[in-house]
Structure 1
Amino acid sequence: ADSPEMRYMAERRAAMGGSVPARRRKGNELTIPPLSAFENMLVSTGEREISTTMAFVRILSTLVRDKQIGKYVVPIVPDEARTFGMEGMFRQLGIYASQGQLYEPMDSDQVMYYKESKDGQILEEGINEAGSFSSWMAAATSYSVTGVQMIPFYIFYSMFGFQRIGDLAWAAGDSRARGFLLGATAGRTTLNGEGLQHEDGHSHLMSATIPNCISYDPTFAYELAVIIQEGLRRMVQNQEDVYYYITLMNENYTHPEMPKGAEEGILKGIYNFSKSKAKGEKVQLMGSGVILREVIAAAELLEKDWNISADVWSVTSFNELRRDGLDAERWNMLNPEKPQRVSYVAQAMKGAQGPTIASTDYMKSFAEQIAGFVPGKFVALGTDGYGRSDSREALRSFFEVDRYYVVVATLKALADEGKLPASKVSEAIKKYKLDANKPNPTTV
């Protein structure tokens, strides 16, 4: 028992935390930056157009420079770092390689060349989603294994996330992983030209199956900043056992300033983006991700062409709204004699008039998750079917989620309620040159 071998093994076991494996519930305490640290994301981009992927890279750059948590941040990519605009981090952080740089990169003559080092901070795993996710899960559970919190950000093509490694995503929830998954080029119509291999219209429905996975589909940079800062607060500062899935897009457009007081709604899942001052029939329009911009355009058409007053709602998380609604229903069932709770979406839309039309870049069942909690008639437009190679405009028309289909769906809902003649719907179909006899997108 006192041999050198036994003493060595005892020392090694003690260094690893003792003889009996134990799971730590808390790691080291860390202080996260305030929302004001992302001030450049909360203001308007003016005339400059950026994508939410570019906004994320700026947020990540801010985090890796933070003196409190920067060294604990672990950026992870399979092989698309340049696609996601992350090459600027090669020189800044370096790509981890256990033996350092063993070759001269082909891009060595560029300022942002492919730099590998033994102390690199980026994990670039090659075209290996299962390996990349396993690295993410190791960092996301580091707090329980080593007592040291890591903050992993794994960014990937969203189609190659839950669909490919769904069992690992479930295991991450079961393992109480904490970290961020970023599904880039998300949505069925945002990555034009890639066809059905890349076009994701269902990852949020998959993430919804994991109880402690918090999912968001933001449209604007300020929404993304608020969501990531809150994720840091919950997972790093408060050390809650949840992880975040956030979808990002590669479509460039201008981003407005954050509306005053929007933070709570962004995190809960819905907030009012604009109210119409038109005097006609009232309707409520919902959108998320890139399709919110089509919804905003549809509201303008409804007012200009049809004298319809359309309020616009940004829905950052249909998943979280559904969970909130179900939680309220459960409490009400078990507490029938106490004051009944109201879902957040019903609270937010209290007093809203007219039917609600929701359009997203995902299957109709994505938005339909909240149909039972929205007052009045609810109509969902979505991208059911396989992806196709075409322009964004053509794809959104094909899947019937663009501004013109939102207008037609709105007029039809009003006609169903007897507030407009059905002939107005036919007039709109003709005006916007829509083919009423085109095949159902799910059959093509």
Structure 2
Amino acid sequence: MDIRSEPPRVPLVVVAGLHDEHVAAVAEAAAASDPLGTAVVHHDLREVTGGVVRRHLRHGDSERLTVLELAHGCVSCTLREDFLPLLRGLAAAPDVRRIVVRLDPSLEPEAICWAIEHVVVDSAPVARDVEVAAVLAAVDLPSWLADASGDEPLHERGLAGSPDDERTVAQVGVGQVEFADAVVLAGATDRWQALRTEAVVHRLTPSAPLAGLDRLDLPALLDRVPAHARRGEVDGAHGPLLRGQPPLEEEAGASVLLFEERRPFHPERLHDALDVLLDGVVRTRGRAWVASQPETALWLESAGGGLRVGHAGPWLVSQPPERWAEVDPERQVKASLNWDAYYGDRMQELVVIAHEADPREVREALLGALLTDAELALGEAAWREFPDPFGEWHEDPCAEDEPEQAPASRERGGNQ
């Protein structure tokens, strides 16, 4: 029998961060241990909305700048038309033993890793040829916490990935750190600012080791990445809300609130209560069920002053048993362990990471949005008739002439 093993995949290190100079320094450190065998890739997206991307590629002593002119100036076109095919070509080169991807400040590593795993290039995803060895995030100590808790749109900083990119700096900065396997701290600041930032970072990505850029020993840092680190793995809406065990005690003002309740939210009271998540809170992530939509799990996610609510698919209790086979086994096990005779798998599961907000006030606001005993006794038929601000897409604050009804998700800005 002819048994042929697949060739080993080329390890890939992804470096992300809001400050390009820090990202560049960490990428250089990642290449330093094997400069001749490492290819460093960087797509400069500062002019992507005008259809121009500058691709920098260095391998050994060779360095090339290629100016790409795209028919449609956006990040997804850059990924599909150049970045992913380039990774495949580099992985096939016999003298490339490692690839370092230096991400543009506007990019979130989760989206890049998802594309590597799922987007088909020449009949197969690029993950057939490369494997994510680590995702690194570079954090600017003087400014990251303010960025992560603010509501500045990317386009105001010149970082928008397309003309219709409505993301905020906080969404990108928080996403970069949250997805990281290790974090590099850079920039000079006072000790209190450093302690506050480190405390928040440790709660966003509890298992990730930290190191300073000024004395960075990157191989030693990567050796400290635990075996269970995600390394590019993208979770679904019903995956773990936090990988690793975050400290639950308050530290330098940073705190973690785990909000778990069985009864549903009243849609209008939840809508009103969401403002508590947009002031003094760095991150909220989780699943919620609203009484007016008893079959549907909602995904709630905030970063700084911006919030998104979207559909996370149906609750298992609303599905016939034969459909359970289509669900991820881990979700089946979790649902079985937490099954309630009345609620099934429906419950509120939110993780709130605050740096200034009082977690007790956040909890009280969310508790106040749950159905009362009298409302609960009305039953599902009555719940469906509750006015529902979450029925359609819209942005908040709602304009006076804008209907609140519109399909499964919404974005909300703070302090506007």
TM norm structure 1 = 0.35
Structure holding more strand per residue: 2
TM norm structure 2 = 0.37
